[in-house]
Amino acid sequence: METTALTAKENAKQAKKMKRSETWRRIKRNKMIYLMILPGIIYFLIYKYLPMYGLIISFQDYKPYKGIMGSEWVGFEHFQRLFESTEFWMIFKNTLVLFGLQIFIFFPIPIIISLMLNEVRHSFFKRGVQTLIYIPHFMSWVVIVSISYVMLTLDGGIVNAILETLGFEKINFLLNEDWFRPMYILQVIWREAGWGTIIFLAAITAVDPQLYEAARMDGANRFRQMWHITIPAIRNVIIVLLILKIGDVLELGFEHVYLLLNSSNRSVAEIFDTYVYVAGLQQGQFSYSTAVGFFKGGVGLAMVVFANWLAQKFDEEGIY
């Protein structure tokens, strides 16, 4: 008994040793591969991880000439100032509203379009529509906002010209705070709805055609096939994308909002990103605006973790 236990122990030791030397061998064999990924790792360390280290300036009274090592610590002072300001709650609310629009209005649209495209049997027509609706994705936000400007402007803008012909009053879309949110989400839909279908269409193609066959036998019409086969089949893709979207909770597109923002619609349009830009880079409040950004990033991370946990609770795969 004892001897066997001993040999087992020794065997384990031996195995461990062998495993270690095996690992070494693998590392050595792949030294060229390590050389390949080295520049990539250095990039991520410098431009992604160093800024994360830089977040500590949100707990300091950062002075550029003193640097991170030399600046004075102030604890949670900036965060306290943040939560106490009325500005903060306005921005928080604006960010949440735009996020809500993204989730509840924008998110389902590419799914619906994919389901519709999937029912098209003429591949020429399908490709034609796809080509058209993909195009705006390749335009910058500057181009999209510019097109909106020339179309929506008060004098000579095509939309107001049409409103006038139809006997309505002209609307100053660009300076009216009531129109900021509709304009924002319509632009998001226009730019991204088509592109968003790619992933769902890919998932739909992977559905086993026999399932449809069987459903038809049971007398399911096309809506029922969609409802009982296609949608459940792509459910996991939908959930993964929803989690990612939720993780992006506060990433509403700095460029997009910044371009639409003006002093007339600021009360509904200012979001964390634009606020960080103005307070940080234009007014030089580095530490305070870093605290704002930190808060934003932290909430975003917490939301992904939460959404992923929720997905797993409901027996879905999640993203990690």
Contact yes or no for 120/127 (Cβ under 8 A): no
Among residues 10 and 177, whose Cβ is nearest to another protein?
A: 177
Rounded Cα gap, residues 65 and 121, in angstroms: 65
Q: 15 or 162, CB closer to another protein?
A: 162
- Least separation in angstroms between CB 132 and another protein: 4
Record the tokens describing residue 225, joined without a space. 């096939």
Residue 102 or 275: the one with the smaller Cβ distance to another protein is 275
Angle at CA of residue 183, ends 181 and 184, nearest 5°: 65
Helices within 101-153 (DSSP H only): 108-118, 123-134, 141-152
Of 44 and 309, the one with the shorter C-beta distance to another protein is 44
Is the separation of the CB atoms in 200 and 111 below 8 Å?
Answer: yes
Structure tokens at 318: 């999640």
Q: Which one, 57 or 101, has the nearer CB to another protein?
A: 57
CA distance 136 to 119: 23
CB of 191 to another protein, least distance (A): 10
Smallest distance, Å, CB 142 to another protein? Answer: 5
Which stretches does DSSP call E strand in the chain?
A: 60-61, 72-73
Nearer to another protein, 185 or 199 (CB): 199
Q: How far is the CB of 13 from another protein (least distance, A)?
A: 21
Minimal distance in Å, beta carbon 131 to another protein? Answer: 7
State the nearest-atom distance from the C-beta of 12 to another protein, in Å: 21
In angstroms, the Cα distances linking 47 to 35, 42, 53 are: 19, 8, 11
Q: Residue 311 has which token pair?
A: 């997905």
